[in-house]
């Protein structure tokens, strides 16, 4: 314990120097501003801004990059809430209730609770990393393909619970999502699947393209369909900050979200994606009146946003303690470290203690900066909604196109968001929810690859999923969740027939 | 009259290209890196262009165009204007293994480029989980002979460096392990450390930290000399498998038709970068091998590409590997 304090004081000694404070602030600010552009998620933001860190010393550069990461992550949530365009998988959930809140004139409250929840989650996650980082590393190693597949099965059950309306429609959307995730070159055999011989489909469909089209472009089409609802939003801007009531409603979701997000963030292979979905599911299950979810429930923003930020931070654990990046953003951080002459690995902690502890301390500093930067900016963001929609939507559309092009520099990506926008619009018209489809899309690939990997290693024996205790446990949880989700809907099914 | 006209055009043409090359570069140069930012090739590109930009007096901007094992970016770069303002960082996969892996490849590595020069290579290592029964490479080969069908080999996806070099390794030692594909080196290493899979081949920059940390063990390094980063790891020759010599090289190319004087200027900037102490140190810290002076010419790069295509095509085709 004494070690922890001396290490943390070493870290804060480094993070709180004038230069590093400035870099953390600058990183968070630039990250927020770029990340708020529709479609520009953390990966694109970091890749874009990587060169500006070249002139700095490694610790300063990494502090700034980490700041850019949190900033972009938070900026993505802002876009999700204001214009319903999730820049990456983790902010899909935020868009569900956050944007509904914005439509009801509670955008400021939603942004405020997101910022405060994120700050709390970030603080807890920092302590977790500092105190338990090394032992928790082992958890990442326990999760092999078998465990991963079972975790994904559990994740898909969340998707069923996510749905606002009919379970059947939700399941249909999940399956479509999984189907879309199989497009591209097969990992094991190298065969092309569902690409119709088109070269740009060889690497599959990019998540940002799908999310931006299905959510963002479809949302624009829908708004143009009936502009009058938009005017209502403009008239009632409402409070800018959450009040006592809001806090009372959200402190428990924040706590639960932080715990779930922090735990899932440690897993390799992008386990953090599940965090917000799991937090949302939990809140909906615990709520007295689950019907409020999807209609602007503040718990539906507070829980997932906390989970999101906690996971974003604990996903640094495998990188810092093992040197193994658990997801694409962390892979980019590895590149940034190697460019600065630090090869990430198990030795970083002992060989570069300044960097290691300085970075951990700067995580907390970065979260504080985010709060300082974003609370005053909420007023500005909310005022954006006052811009007449006929002026706002061409700007959103243009930023979407620029944002999506900047990720892979592919013109076909821009065309695809248009196509998915039309599909999304039709789905809304027919009463299908896009969120379960996106979750199916994210989990589908992981699920298929890990299933095949597990079966290849077990030489085709399905028993491997039950023989391994963690995998069996996850499957049991999934089964229980599914039963819980289906029971009330079977019971309620009869009432719904009459109400519809 | 015709002759005079011809002579005139020739002189004018020369003068024009001379003037162009004298001024070149007058605006920023784009280097297409066909992999995601942060990967080994991207890191080499950023370190080398950092110094090249200073020699040329113009910024070289990196554009990452990832996809299809790097062939998406190289296809685009090959089709761009051959004026020296679009260049690319090709590597062992895009300019060696790709013709065998992608039957519909829209460029020919040996014909569609103006080679600039070799940048840096990263050696390949044979690594295994830390409690794999074999103690050294010889023990490993014996183990593979006896229990080859029970062994799992990890790789980072069809078309990746670890996949191609792994297939080459297996074909040399005559092993047929069960191949387990991962999406990138990170997850593959994770499972190697967790004892889920048995062995793999990959670039030193990816595996060195885990070898130094004792999380996995290395049997041999596939270069003529040991690496200063891992002095205890024997070369494949020392370990009795001299046939396995492979490196994930990275090299700068321009599209075919780029004026020779522009190529010369770019090559000069590259050679200067590779002679710079600081740049060398940054590359060597990553385990990178810097080419000897005679390997830095456009001609030797052209030869390398030709020999690499000739080497990879039969090996990969025999293994039935294709990424389409």
Residue contact B38–A144, C-beta within 8 A: no
Which residue of chain B comes nearest to A350, CA vs CA?
B213
Q: With 50 as the cut, is the pLDDT of residue A92 above it?
A: yes
Query: What's the pLDDT at A382?
Result: 81
Report whether the peptide linkage leading into residue A495 is cis, meaning its omega lies within 30 degrees of zero: no
**Burial of residue A40, with CB atoms counted within 10 A of its CB: 0-12 exposed, 13-18 middle, 19 or more buried:** buried
Q: Distance between CA atoms of A41 and A62, rounded to whole angstroms?
A: 18
Q: ipTM for the complex?
A: 0.81
Please indicate whether residue B41 or residue A345 has the higher confidence score (pLDDT).
B41
Please give the pLDDT value at position A162. Answer: 60
Residues B151 and B187 in one domain: yes
Residue A194: closest C-alpha in chain B: B324
B117 and B132 assigned to the same domain? no
Could you tell me if B94 and B43 lie in one domain?
yes
| Residue A184 three-state SS | strand
Top-ranked range on mean pLDDT: pick from A131-135, A316-320, A405-409, B169-173: B169-173
What is the number of CB-based contacts under 8 A between chain A and chain B? 141
Residues of A in contact with B186 (CB under 8 A): 268, 324-326, 331
- Claim to verify: residue B116 and residue B253 sit in the same structural domain: yes
**What is the rounded CA–CA span in Å between residue A110 and residue A301?**
7
Domain count, chain B: 2
Assigned domain for B9 exists: no
Convert the pLDDT of each residue in A258-269 to its tens digit: 999 998 888 766
pLDDT per residue over A292-316, tens digit each?
Answer: 888 889 999 999 999 999 988 888 8
A395 touches chain B (CB under 8 A): no
**What per-residue confidence (pLDDT) applies to A476?**
93
Nearest to B178 among A140, A191, A456 (CB): A456
C-alpha distance from A301 to closest chain B C-alpha (Å): 31
Indicate the SS3 state at residue A185.
Answer: strand
B5 falls within a domain: no
- The band of A203, judged by pLDDT with boundaries at 50, 70 and 90, is confident
Tens digits of residue pLDDT in A13-39:
888 889 999 999 999 998 888 888 876
Residue A5 touches partner B, C-beta closer than 8 Å: no
Show which of B180, B201, B221 is a domain's final residue.
B221
A413-433 pLDDT per residue, tens: 899 999 999 999 999 889 888
- Give me the residues paired with residue B230 across strands: B227
Percent of chain A at pLDDT exceeding 70: 92
Alpha-carbon gap, residue B132 to B135, rounded angstroms: 8
A85-89, A253-257, A379-383, B229-233: segment of lowest average pLDDT: A85-89
Within a domain: B14? no
B324 falls within a domain: no
Q: How confident is the model at residue A489 (pLDDT cuts 50, 70, 90)?
A: low
Task: Find the CB nearest A187 among B152, B157, B191.
Answer: B157
Residue A491: predicted pLDDT: 54
Phi-psi region of A355 (alpha: psi -120 to 50; beta: other; left: phi over 0): alpha
Tokens of A285: 């299950």
Where residue B40 sits, what CATH number does that domain have?
3.40.190.150
Closest-CA distance of chain B to residue A88, Å: 17
A334 — contact with chain B (CB < 8 Å)?
yes
Give yes or no: residues B166 and B188 share one domain. yes
Q: Are residues B253 and B180 in the same domain?
A: no
CA nearest B76: which of A209, A411, A203? A411
Closest residue in B to A346 (Cα) is B213
Hey, is A280 helix, strand or coil?
A: helix
CB contact set of B199 (below 8 Å; sequence gap of 6+): B126, B127, B128, B129, B132, B140, B151, B153, B154, B177, B192
Are B42 and B62 in a shared domain?
Answer: yes
Phi-psi category of residue B86: left, alpha or beta, with phi > 0 → left and psi -120 to 50 → alpha? beta
CB proximity under 8 Å: A 396-435 to B: 408-410
- Inside any domain, residue B242: no
Q: Which residue has the higher pLDDT, A489 or A456?
A: A456
A142, A190, A410 member nearest B323 (Cβ): A190
Task: Determine the pLDDT at residue A400.
Answer: 85
Q: pLDDT tens-digit profile of A40-75?
A: 777 778 877 777 777 788 888 888 888 888 888 888
- Name the DSSP letter for residue A84: S
* Contacting residues of A for B43, CB less than 8 Å apart: 335, 338-339
Average pLDDT over residues A173-189: 88
Weakly modelled stretches of chain B, pLDDT under 70 = 1-22, 321-324
For residue B276, the enclosing domain spans: 28-121+249-318
Tell me the residues of chain A between 117 and 136 that have a Cβ less than 8 Å away from chain B. none
Domain limit, last residue, from B171, B206, B221: B221
Residues of A in contact with B182 (CB under 8 A): 187, 453
Of B221, B240, B263, the domain-final residue: B221
Task: Establish if B231 belongs to a structural domain.
Answer: no
Same domain, B74 and B148: no
Distance CA A260, CA A254 (A): 10
Q: Using the predicted structure, report yes or no on whether residue A486 has a pLDDT greater than 80.
A: no
Q: Cβ separation of A322 and B193 shorter than 8 Å?
A: yes
Whether residue B2 is contained in a domain is answered as no
Q: Are residues B199 and B285 in the same domain?
A: no
Spell out the residues 6+ positions from residue A271 whose beta carbon is closer than 8 angstroms to its own: A143, A151, A264, A265, A311, A326
Name the residue facing B208 among A333, A335, A343 (closest C-beta).
A343
Judge: B43–A338 Cβ closer than 8 Å, yes or no.
Answer: yes
Residues B145, B290, single domain; the answer is: no
Q: What pLDDT is stored for residue A492 in this prediction? A: 56
Per-residue pLDDT for A442 more than 70?
Answer: yes
- Quick one: three-class SS letters along chain B? CHHHHHHHHHHHHHHHHHHHHHHCCCCCEEEEECCCCCCHHHHHHHHHHHHHHHHHCCCEEEEECCCHHHHHHHHHHHCCCCCCCEEEEEECHHHHHHHHHCCCCCCCCCCCEEEEEEEEEEEEEEEEECCCCCCCHHHHHHHHHHHHHHCEEEECCCCCHHHHHHHHHHHHHCCCCEEEECCCHHHHHHHHHCCCCCEEEEEHHHHHHHHHCCCEEEEEECCCCCECCECCCCECCCCCCCCCCCEEEEEEEEECCCCHHHHHHHHHHHHHHHHCHHHHHHHHHCCCECCCHHHCCHHHHHHHHHHHHHHHHHHHHHCCCCCC
Contact B37 A189 (CB under 8 A): no
CA nearest B50 in A: which residue?
A54
B286 and B197 co-located in one domain: no
Q: Which of A343, A347, A449, A471 to mutate to test the interface with B (most CBs of B within 10 A)?
A: A343
Predicted local confidence at residue B13, as pLDDT: 47
Q: Mutation test of the interface with chain B: which of A51, A193, A356, A453, choosing the one with the most B Cβ atoms within 10 A?
A: A453
Q: Hey, of B106, B190, B320, which one would you mutate to test binding to chain A, going by the most A CBs within 10 A of its CB?
A: B190
Does pTM top 0.95 for this prediction?
Answer: no
List pLDDT tens digits, range A357-400: 888 888 889 889 888 888 888 888 888 777 888 888 888 888 88
Shared-domain flag, residues B46 and B134: no
Whether residue A317 lies within 8 A of chain B, CB to CB, comes out as no
In terms of CA atoms, which chain A residue is nearest residue B33? A408
Closest partner CB to A347 (pick from B43, B101, B209): B209
Question: In the numeric block, which tokens belong to residue A294?
Answer: 């999807």
Contacts with B155 (C-beta within 8 Å, 6 or more apart), sequence order: B162, B163, B166, B179, B180, B181, B182, B188, B200, B201
């Amino acid at each position: 314990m004494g070690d922890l304090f001396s290490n943390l004081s070493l870290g804060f000694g480094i993070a709180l120097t004038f230069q590093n404070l400035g870099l953390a602030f600058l990183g968070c600010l630039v990250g927020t501003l770029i990340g708020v552009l529709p479609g520009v998620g953390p990966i694109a933001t970091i890749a874009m801004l990587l060169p500006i860190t070249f002139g700095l010393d490694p610790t300063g550069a990494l502090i700034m990059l980490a700041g850019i990461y949190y900033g972009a992550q938070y900026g993505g949530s802002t876009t999700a809430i204001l214009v319903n365009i999730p820049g990456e998988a983790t902010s899909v959930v935020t868009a569900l209730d956050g944007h509904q809140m914005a439509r009801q004139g509670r955008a400021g409250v939603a942004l405020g609770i997101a910022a405060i929840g994120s700050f709390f989650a970030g603080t807890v996650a920092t302590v977790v990393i500092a105190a338990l980082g090394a032992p928790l590393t082992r958890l990442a190693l326990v999760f092999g393909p078998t465990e991963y597949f079972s975790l994904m099965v559990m994740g898909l059950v969340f998707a069923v619970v996510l749905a606002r309306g009919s379970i059947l429609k939700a399941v249909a959307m999940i399956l479509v999502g999984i189907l879309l995730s199989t497009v591209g070159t097969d990992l094991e055999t190298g065969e092309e699947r569902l690409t119709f011989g088109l070269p740009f489909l060889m690497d599959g469909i990019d998540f940002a393209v799908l999310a931006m089209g299905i959510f963002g472009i479809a949302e624009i089409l829908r708004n143009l369909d009936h502009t009058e609802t938009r005017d209502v939003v403009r008239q009632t801007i409402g409070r800018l900050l959450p009040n006592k009531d809001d806090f009372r409603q959200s402190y428990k979701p924040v706590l639960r979200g932080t715990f779930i997000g922090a735990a899932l963030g440690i897993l390799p292979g992008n386990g953090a994606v599940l965090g917000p979905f799991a937090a949302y599911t939990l809140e909906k299950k615990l709520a007295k009146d689950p019907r409020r979810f999807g209609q602007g429930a503040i718990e539906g923003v507070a829980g997932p946003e906390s989970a999101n930020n906690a996971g974003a931070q604990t996903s640094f654990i495998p990188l810092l303690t093992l040197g193994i990046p658990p997801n694409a953003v962390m892979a980019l951080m590895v590149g940034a470290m190697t460019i600065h002459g630090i090869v990430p690995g198990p030795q970083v902690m002992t060989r570069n203690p300044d960097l290691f502890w300085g970075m951990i301390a700067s995580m907390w500093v970065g979260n504080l900066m985010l709060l300082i930067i974003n609370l005053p900016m909420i007023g500005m963001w909310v005022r954006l909604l006052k811009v007449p929609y006929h002026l706002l939507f061409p700007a959103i559309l243009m930023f979407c196109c620029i944002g999506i092009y900047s990720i892979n520099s592919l013109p076909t990506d821009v065309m695809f968001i248009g196509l998915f926008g039309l599909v999304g619009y039709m789905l809304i018209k027919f009463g299908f929810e896009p969120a379960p489809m996106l979750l199916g899309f994210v989990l589908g690939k992981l699920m298929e690859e890990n299933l095949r990997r597990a079966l290849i290693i077990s030489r085709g024996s399905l028993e491997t999923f039950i023989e391994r205790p963690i995998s069996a446990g996850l499957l049991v949880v999934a089964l229980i969740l599914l039963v819980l989700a289906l029971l009330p809907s079977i019971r309620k099914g009869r009432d719904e027939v009459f109400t519809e | 009259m015709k002759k005079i006209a011809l002579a005139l055009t020739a002189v004018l043409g020369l003068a024009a290209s001379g003037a162009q090359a004298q001024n070149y570069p007058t605006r920023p140069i784009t280097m297409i890196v066909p992999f995601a930012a942060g990967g080994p090739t991207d890191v080499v590109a950023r370190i080398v262009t950092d110094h090249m930009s200073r020699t040329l007096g113009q910024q070289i901007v990196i554009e990452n165009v990832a996809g299809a094992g790097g062939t998406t970016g190289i296809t685009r770069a090959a089709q761009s204007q051959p004026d020296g303002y679009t260049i690319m960082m090709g590597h062992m996969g895009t300019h060696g293994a790709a013709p065998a892996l992608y039957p519909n490849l829209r460029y020919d590595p040996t014909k569609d480029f103006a080679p600039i020069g070799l940048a840096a290579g990263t050696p390949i290592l044979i690594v295994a989980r830390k409690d794999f029964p074999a103690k050294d490479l010889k023990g490993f080969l014996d183990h593979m002979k006896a229990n080859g069908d029970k062994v799992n080999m990890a790789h980072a996806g069809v078309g990746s460096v670890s996949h191609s070099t792994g297939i080459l390794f297996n074909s040399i030692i005559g092993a047929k392990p069960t191949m387990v594909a991962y999406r990138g080196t990170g997850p593959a290493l994770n499972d190697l450390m967790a004892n889920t899979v048995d062995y793999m081949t990959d670039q030193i920059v990816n595996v060195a930290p885990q070898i130094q940390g004792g999380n996995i063990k290395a049997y041999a390094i596939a270069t003529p000399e040991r690496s200063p980063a891992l002095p205890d790891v024997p070369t494949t020759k020392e370990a009795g498998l001299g046939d396995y010599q492979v490196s994930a090289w990275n090299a700068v190319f321009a599209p075919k038709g780029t004026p020779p004087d522009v190529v010369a200027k770019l090559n000069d900037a590259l050679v200067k970068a590779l002679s710079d102490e600081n740049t060398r140190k940054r590359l060597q810290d990553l385990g990178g091998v810097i080419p000897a002076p005679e390997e830095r010419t456009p001609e030797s790069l052209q030869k390398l590409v030709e020999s690499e295509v000739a080497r990879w095509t039969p090996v990969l085709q025999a293994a039935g590997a294709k990424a389409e």
